[in-house]
Amino acid sequence: MDAGVKTLAMTYSGGDLFGQLGQEATTALAQKAGIDIVLSEAHDPAATDFTPLVTKVTDAKPDAFVTWGASSSS
């Protein structure tokens, strides 16, 4: 999880266990690796416009970005 990464932005689906556990695990691993989390924000997986969230990620200027979530569609 390094490769020159010093900052990380992360989003996750706040309404499901997969997203929440992914956020927790990534936070723990980033801290252990000395990576600063510049954004960690829950999102609604049913949303259709992620522009505000993407803007926050862009504004945070991270070296890397990860998102955790599962689709509710079958």
Strands (E), 1-68: 7-13, 36-43, 64-68
Q: Using an 8 Å Cβ cutoff, are 35 and 8 in contact?
A: yes
pLDDT at 63: 97
Does the CA dihedral 57-60-66-68 come out positive or negative?
negative
CATH assignment of 7-68, among 3.40.47.40, 3.40.50.2300, 3.90.380.10, 3.60.20.10? 3.40.50.2300
For the stretch 29-60, pLDDT in tens is 999 999 999 999 999 988 899 999 999 999 99
- Per-residue pLDDT band at 14 (split at 50, 70, 90): confident
pTM for this prediction: 0.84
Given a cut of 60, whether residue 1 has pLDDT beyond it is no
